[in-house]
Structure 1
Amino acid sequence: MSKDAPQDRPSPTPSTGIDNVVEVRGVTKRFPGVVANKDIDITVRRGTIHALVGENGAGKSTLMKILYGVQKQDEGTIAIDGKVVPLNSPSDAIAAGIGMVFQHFKLADNLTVLENVVLGAEKLHGIGGKARAKIEEISATYGLGIRPGDLVEKLGVGDRQRVEILKVLYRGAKIIILDEPTAVLVPQEVDELFDNLIGLKGEGLTVIFISHKLDEVRKVADEITVIRRGTTVGTADPKQITSRQLAEMMVGSELPTPETTESTVTDKVVLDVRGLSLRELGVAPVLSDIDLTIHAGEVLGIAGVEGNGQAELVEVIMGMREPSAGHITYLGQDITDWDTRRIRESGVGFIPEDRHRHGLVLEAPLWENRMLGHQTEEPNSKGMMLSPKAAQADTVRIVEQYDVRTPSINVMASSLSGGNQQKLIVGREMSHHPKVLIAAHPTRGVDVGAQAAIWDHIRDARREGLAVLLISADLDELIGLSDTIRVILRGRLSGEFEPSKVTAEDLGAAMTGASHDEERAS
Structure 2
Amino acid sequence: MDYVVEMEGIRKEFTGIVANDDITLRLRKGEIHALLGENGAGKSTLMSILFGMYQPDRGRILVEGKEVRITSPNVANKLGIGMVHQHFKLVEPFTVTENIILGYETRKFGLFMDTDKAAKRVGELSKQYGLNVDPYAKIEDISVGMQQRVEILKMLYRNADVLIFDEPTAVLTPQEITDLQEIMKNLTKEGKSIILITHKLKEIKAVADRCTVIRRGKTIGTVDVAETSREAMAEMMVGRSVSFKVDKTASAPGAAVLEVSSLTVKNSKKVEALKRFSLSVHAGEIVGIAGVDGNGQTELIEAITGLQKAESGEVLLSGKPIHELSIRERNDRGIGHIPEDRHKRGLVLDYSLEENMMLEVYNRPPFSRNGLLKPSAMREHAEHIIESFDVRSGSGVRSVARSLSGGNQQKAIIGREVERDPDLLIAVQPTRGLDVGSIEYIHRRLVEQRDKGKAVLLVSLELDEILNLSDRIAVINSGELVGIVNASETNEQELGLMMAGYGKEEGSA
- 1:5 matched to which residue of 2? none
Q: Deviations over 1:450-475 (max 9, x none)?
A: 11111111111111122122111221
Which residue of 1 is the match for residue 237 of structure 2?
Answer: 250
| Matched-pair contact (CA < 8 Å) for 2:449–2:456 | no
> How has the CA–CA distance of structure 1 residues 161 and 378 changed in structure 2, closer, same or farther, with 3 Å as cutoff?
farther
Tell me if the contact between 2:335 and 2:425 (Cα under 8 Å) persists in the aligned partners.
Answer: yes
Q: Distance in 2 between matches of 1:472 and 1:166?
A: 29
1:59 to 27, 39, 42: 42
Give the one of 45, 57, 63 matched to 1:74. Answer: 57
Partner of residue 15, structure 1: none
The alignment covers a number of residue pairs equal to: 498
1:276-355 to 2 correspondences below 5 Å = 276-280=263-267, 284-355=271-342
1:76: Cα distance to partner?
1.4
Partner of 2:71: 88
Q: 1:311 to 1:406 in 2, by over 3 A?
A: same
Q: What's the offset of the Cα at 1:186?
A: 4.5
> Which segment is superposed worse, 138-147 or 174-183?
138-147
Contact 1:258 1:476 in 2 (8 A): no
> Which amino acid in structure 2 is aligned with residue 317 of structure 1?
I
Aligned to 2:220: 233
Classify the secondary structure of the residue corresponding to 2:350: coil
C-alpha separation between the residues in 2 aligned to 1:37 and 1:119? Answer: 32
Distance across 2 between alignment mates of 1:124 and 1:385: 60
Amino acid at match of 1:84: E
CA drift of 1:25 comes to 0.9
Q: 1:411 aligns with which of 396, 399, 412?
A: 399
Query: 1:234, CA displacement in angstroms?
Result: 0.6
Does the 8 Å CA contact 2:266/2:299 hold for their aligned counterparts? no
Q: Distance in 2 between matches of 1:440 and 1:208?
A: 29
Deviations 1:207-227 (A, max 9, x none): 111222213212211100010
Give the gaps of 5 or more residues in structure 1. 1-8, 10-18, 517-522
**Residue 499 (str. 1) matches residue 493 (str. 2):** no
What residue ranges of structure 2 are gaps of 5+ in the alignment?
Answer: 504-509
Q: TM-score, normalised by structure 1?
A: 0.88
Structure 2 residue 360 is the aligned partner of structure 1 residue 373: yes
Whichever residue aligns with residue 56 of structure 2, its letter is Q
| Residue aligning to 1:101 | 84
Q: Match of 1:400, as an amino acid?
A: E
**CA distance in structure 1 between the aligned counterparts of 2:137 and 2:302, rounded to whole angstroms:** 22
- Aligned letter for 1:476? D
Q: Encode CA deviations 1:408-427: one digit per residue, 9 max, x unaligned.
A: 22122222211111111111
Of stretches 389-398 and 118-127 in structure 1, the one that deviates more from structure 2 is 118-127
Q: Is the 8 A contact 2:144 2:172 kept in 1?
A: no
Kept in 2: contact 1:303–1:473 (CA 8 A): yes
Partners of 1:500 and 1:427 in 2: how far apart? 29
Within the candidate set 258, 263, 266, 2:253 is matched to: 266
**Which has the larger displacement, 414-423 or 383-392?**
383-392
Q: Structure 1 pair 153/379, CA: closer, same or farther in 2 (3 Å)?
A: farther
Provide the rounded CA distance (Å) in 2 between the counterparts of 1:137 and 1:286. Answer: 36
Instruction: Using the aligned pairs only, state the percent identity.
Output: 45
**SS of the residue aligned with 2:461?**
coil
Deviations 1:245-295 (A, max 9, x none): 111111122222342442334241111222222335866432222222111
Distance change in 2, residues 1:393/1:267 (3 Å)? closer
Give the letter aligned to residue 343 of structure 1. R
Task: Indicate yes or no: 2:135 matched with 1:178.
Answer: no
Asked if the contact 2:13–2:20 (Cα under 8 Å) also holds between the matched residues in 1, the reply is yes
* 2:262 equivalent in structure 1: 275
Provide the secondary structure at the position in 2 that maps to 1:312.
Answer: helix
Letter in 2 for 1:353: E
Q: Which residue of 2 aligns with 1:165?
A: 152
1:6 paired residue number: none
CA contact (8 A) 1:243 1:255 kept: no
Contact 1:37 1:63 in 2 (8 A): yes
Tell me the residue number matched to 2:506: none
The range that moved more, 249-258 or 232-241, is 249-258
Q: Of 97, 103, 113, which residue of structure 2 is paired with 1:120?
A: 103
SS of alignment partner, residue 408 of structure 2: helix
Aligned to 2:432: 444
Match of 1:210 in 2: 197
Paired letter, 2:458: L
Shift of 1:200: 0.7
Amino acid at match of 2:287: L
Match in the other structure for 2:452: 464
Deviation at 1:140, TM superposition (A): 5.2
CA distance in 2: counterparts of 1:205 and 1:272, whole angstroms? 53
1:400 Cα deviation (Å)?
1.3
Distance 1:103 1:156 in 2: 15
- Residue 478, structure 1, aligned to residue 461, structure 2: no
Aligned-residue RMSD, C-alpha: 2.6
Q: 1:247 to 1:254 in 2, by over 3 A?
A: same
Relative to structure 1, is the Cα distance of residues 346 and 228 closer, same or farther in structure 2, using a 3 angstrom cutoff? Answer: same
CA distance in 1, matches of 2:139, 2:129: 20
